[in-house]
Structure 1
Amino acid sequence: MKSVAVIGASLAGLYAARALRAQGFDGRLVIVGEEHHRPYDRPPLSKAFLTGATADQGQLALADAEEIAELDAEWLLGTRATGLDTQERAVLLDGGRSLTTDGVVIATGATPRRLPGPAPAGTHTLRTLEDAQALRAELTRGPVRVVVIGGGFIGAEVASSCAALGHDVTVVEAAARPLVPQLGDTMAGICAALHADHGVTLLTGTGVARLHDGGAGHRVTAVELADGRLLPADVVVIGIGVRPHTAWLEGSGLPLDDGVCCDAGGVTPQPHIVAVGDVARADGTRAEHWTSATEQAAVAVRNLLAGRTVATHRSLPYFWSDQYGVRIQFAGRRLPTDIPRIVEGSPDDRSFLACYERDGRTTAVLALNRPRPFMRLRRELARAAQPVTT
Structure 2
Amino acid sequence: MVDADQTFVIVGGGLAGAKAAETLRAEGFTGRVILICDERDHPYERPALSKGYLLGKEERDSVFVHEPAWYAQNDIELHLNETVEAIDRTAKTVRFGGDGTLVRYDKLLLATGAEPRRLDIPGTDLAGVHHLRRLAHAERLKGVLAALGRDNGHIVIAGAGWIGLEVAAAAREYGAEVTVVEPAPTPLHGVLGPELGNLFAELHREHGVRFHFGASLTEIVGQDGMVLAARTDDGEEHPAHDVLAAIGAAPRIGLAEAAGLEIADRAHGGGIAVDERLRTSDPDIHAAGDVAAFHHALFDTTLRVEHWANALNGGPAAARAMLGRDVTYDRVPYFFSDQYDLGMEYSGWAPPGSYDEVVIRGDAGKREFIAFWVKEGRVLAGMNVNVWDVTDPIQQLIRSKTQVNTESLADPRVPLESLVP
Same topology, TM > 0.5: yes
Greater shift, 324-333 or 309-318, is seen at: 309-318
Distance 2:281 2:377 in 1: 40
Residue aligning to 1:388: none
Which residue identity does 2:94 align to in structure 1?
V
Q: TM-score when scaled to structure 2?
A: 0.86
Secondary structure, counterpart of 1:48 in structure 2:
coil
Q: What's the CA shift for 1:45?
A: 0.8
Identity over the aligned pairs, expressed in percent? Answer: 33
**Structure-2 separation of matches of 1:332 and 1:225:** 34
Distance in 2 between the 1:292 and 1:119 partners?
Answer: 33
- Worse-superposed segment, 201-210 or 348-357: 348-357
**Alignment partners' CA distance in 1, 2:132 and 2:154:** 18
Which of 171, 175, 185 is the aligned partner of 1:176? 185
Find 1:12's aligned residue among 12, 16, 33. Answer: 16
| Correspondences of 1:15-94 after superposition (within 5 Å) | 15-54=19-58, 56-65=59-68, 67-94=70-97
- Give the distance between the partners of 1:76 and 1:185, measured in 2 at CA: 45
Of residues 139, 144, 155 in structure 2, which corresponds to 1:138? Answer: 144
Are positions 1:304 and 2:307 aligned together? no
Q: 1:360 to 1:382 in 2, by over 3 A?
A: closer
Confirm or deny: 8 A CA contact 2:347 2:382 kept in the other structure.
Answer: yes
- Please provide the CA RMSD for this pair: 1.8
Task: State whether structure 2 residue 338 is matched by structure 1 residue 331.
Answer: no
- For residues 67 and 273 of structure 1, the distance between their equivalents in structure 2, rounded to whole angstroms, comes to 26
Deviations 1:14-64 (A, max 9, x none): 11112211222110000000001111121111122112112x311111112
Which residue, 330, 333, 336 being the options, matches 1:314?
A: 330
CA distance in 2, matches of 1:262, 1:35: 26
The letter for the 1-side match of 2:303 is: T
Is contact 1:365–1:377 with CA below 8 Å preserved after alignment?
no
Shift of 1:382: 6.2
Q: For 1:356, what is the secondary structure of its paired residue?
A: strand
Unmatched runs of 5 consecutive residues or more in structure 1: 386-390
In structure 2, the CA distance between the partners of 1:295 and 1:338, relative to structure 1 (3 Å rule), is farther
For the residue of structure 2 that corresponds to 1:349, the secondary structure is coil
Q: Could you say if the C-alpha distance between residues 131 and 69 of structure 1 is closer, same or farther in structure 2, counting changes exceeding 3 Å?
A: same
1:370 is aligned, of 387, 393, 401, to: 387
Post-superposition CA distance 1:352-384 (Å, at most 9, x none): 122222323333211211123x32433533663
* 1:267 aligned residue (272, 276, 279): 279
Aligned to 1:220: 227
In the alignment, the residues of structure 2 paired with residue 319 and residue 47 of structure 1 have an alpha-carbon distance, to the nearest angstrom, of 13
Give the distance between the partners of 2:396 and 2:257, measured in 1 at CA: 42
Deviations 1:243-267 (A, max 9, x none): 0112233421112342211112210
- The structure-2 alpha-carbon separation of the partners of 1:65 and 1:213, relative to structure 1 and needing over 3 Å to count, comes to closer
Number of the residue aligned with 1:384: 400
**In the aligned structure 2, how far is the partner of 1:93 from the partner of 1:231?**
44
Amino acid in structure 2 at the alignment position of 1:17: A
> Is the 1:146–1:234 Cα contact (8 Å) retained in structure 2?
yes
Name the CA distance, whole Å, in 1 between partners of 2:349 and 2:35. Answer: 34
**Distance between the aligned counterparts of 1:13 and 1:368, measured in 2?**
31
* In structure 2, distance between residues paired with 1:76 and 1:267: 24
In structure 2, C-alpha distance between the alignment counterparts of 1:254 and 1:91, rounded to whole Å: 14
User: Where does residue 127 of structure 2 map in the other structure?
Assistant: 121
Deviations 1:158-195 (A, max 9, x none): 00000000010011111111212211221121122111
Q: Is the 8 A contact 2:348 2:381 kept in 1?
A: yes
Give the aligned residue type for 2:364.
P
Residue of structure 2 in register with 1:342 after alignment: 360
CA distance in 1, matches of 2:361, 2:236: 41
Paired with 1:334 and 1:124, the residues of 2 have a C-alpha distance of 30
Distance 1:148 1:74 in 2: 39
Contact kept in structure 2, 1:6 and 1:104, CA below 8 Å: yes
**1:289 CA displacement:** 1.0
1:339 is displaced (CA, Å) by 1.2
Gaps of 5+ in 2: 265-269, 296-301, 402-421
Counterpart Cα distance in 2 of 1:383 and 1:20: 29
Q: 2:310 aligns with which of 292, 308, 321?
A: 292
Distance 1:224 1:289 in 2: 31
Q: 1:20 to 1:382 in 2, by over 3 A?
A: farther
CA contact (8 A) 2:378 2:398 kept: no
How many angstroms apart in 2 are the aligned matches of 1:213 and 1:295? 44
Answer yes or no: is the 8 Å Cα contact 1:316–1:381 preserved in 2. Answer: no
1:355–1:365: 8 Å Cα contact kept in structure 2? yes
Letter in 2 for 1:237: L
Partners of 1:145 and 1:184 lie apart in 2 by 28
**Amino acid aligned to 1:279:** V
Q: How does 1:125-204 map to 2 (within 5 A)?
A: 125-141=131-147, 142=150, 143-204=152-213
